[in-house]
């Protein structure tokens, strides 16, 4: 039997063999009072969820986890935590492999998607965030092929246990940066790892397809594009292709 992974000080591991979705389980635990740093990890999910209502194939072999955070902030600031997660995932990639973050929260290795991130916030009536569940699916052993995937998958390699240790350490490190310095440091780290400015990208906004040159990300986490019709600021959409 493998030893339980070691988590950062103050974190709590909830290890499950199988669950519907670790995000749902973490939300349930958060509602019941679980503290920040509760890390729900399942060997497999039977109802793994991706962004935009997609499913996330979750057989044994990859990492499926959700971290409970209690950031004491407003909803727009909580959305910054998806970028915190992307940096923690990107830091796991070693051996000189090309790693790139892709707006809003994807991480690509050698051009293939290695992780998906699904942050979900619970907002109180006063607009204050009660908790955030930071869901991360990481391709450790294999890259599931999904019909809706627009580009290939990639794998991290190594073991799930070592990925748990590296990921939680990275999350703790980047969360401390976010708390101490705010979004500016996170944004700078994200832009360092993003595609080149000026790269041609397509963004799907509902039924509309916007084509433009990647012009960065602003202080609110919105994607910036230069289009033939002028600058565009995009708060919600899907970036197609690999460029940024």
Give the footprint of ligand BTN on this chain (CB under 6 A): 21-23, 45, 48-51, 54, 56, 64-66, 116-118, 135-137
For residue 227, the minimal CB distance to ligand BTN (Å) is: 25
The structure tokens listed for 117 are 């991130």
For 42, residues 6+ apart whose C-beta sits below 8 A from its C-beta are 15, 16, 17, 18, 19, 22, 25, 58, 64, 65
Identify which of residues 97 and 150 has a Cβ nearer to ligand BTN in the complex: 150
Residue 231 has phi, psi (to 5 degrees) of: -70, 145
Which is nearest to 216 in space by CA: 51, 239, 41?
239
For residue 151, the minimal CB distance to ligand BTN (Å) is: 12
SS (H, E, C) 176-244: HHHHHHCHHHHHHHHHHHECCCCCEEEEEECCEEEEEEEEEECCCCCEEEEECCEEEEECCCEEECCCC
For residue 180, the minimal CB distance to ligand BTN (Å) is: 27
Identify which of residues 226 and 238 has a Cβ nearer to ligand BTN in the complex: 238
Q: Which residue's beta carbon is nearest to the bound ligand BTN?
A: 116
Identify which of residues 8 and 50 has a Cβ nearer to ligand BTN in the complex: 50
Identify which of residues 152 and 231 has a Cβ nearer to ligand BTN in the complex: 152
H-run or E-run covering 92: none
For residue 161, the minimal CB distance to ligand BTN (Å) is: 16
Following CA atoms 41, 43, 49, 55 in sequence, which dihedral angle do they give, to the nearest 10 degrees? 160
Pairing state between β 38-45 and 12-19: parallel
For residue 28, the minimal CB distance to ligand BTN (Å) is: 13
Identify which of residues 48 and 195 has a Cβ nearer to ligand BTN in the complex: 48
Identify which of residues 84 and 117 has a Cβ nearer to ligand BTN in the complex: 117
Whether the ω angle into residue 104 lies within 30 degrees of 0, i.e. cis, is yes
For residue 22, the minimal CB distance to ligand BTN (Å) is: 4
């Amino acid at each position: 039997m493998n030893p339980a992974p070691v988590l950062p000080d103050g974190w709590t591991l909830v290890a499950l063999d199988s669950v519907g979705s670790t995000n749902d389980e973490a939300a349930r635990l958060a509602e019941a009072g679980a503290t920040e740093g509760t890390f729900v990890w399942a060997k497999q999910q039977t109802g793994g969820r991706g962004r935009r209502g997609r499913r996330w194939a979750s057989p044994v072999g990859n990492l499926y986890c959700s971290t409970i955070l209690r950031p004491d902030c407003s909803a727009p600031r909580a959305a910054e935590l998806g970028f915190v997660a992307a940096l923690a995932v990107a830091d796991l990639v070693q051996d000189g492999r090309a790693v790139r973050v892709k707006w809003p929260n994807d991480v690509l290795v050698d051009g293939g998607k290695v992780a998906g991130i699904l942050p979900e916030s619970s907002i109180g009536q006063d607009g204050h965030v009660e908790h955030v569940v930071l869901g991360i699916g990481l391709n450790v052993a294999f890259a599931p092929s999904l019909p809706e995937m627009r580009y290939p998958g990639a794998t991290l390699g190594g073991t799930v246990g070592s990925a748990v240790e590296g990921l939680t350490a990275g999350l703790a490190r980047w969360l401390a940066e976010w708390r101490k310095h705010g979004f500016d440091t996170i944004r700078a780290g994200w832009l360092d790892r993003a595609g080149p400015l000026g790269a041609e990208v397509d963004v799907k906004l509902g039924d509309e397809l916007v084509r433009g040159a990647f012009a960065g990300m602003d202080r609110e986490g919105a994607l910036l594009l230069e289009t033939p019709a002028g600058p565009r600021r995009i708060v919600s959409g899907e970036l197609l292709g690999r460029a940024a």
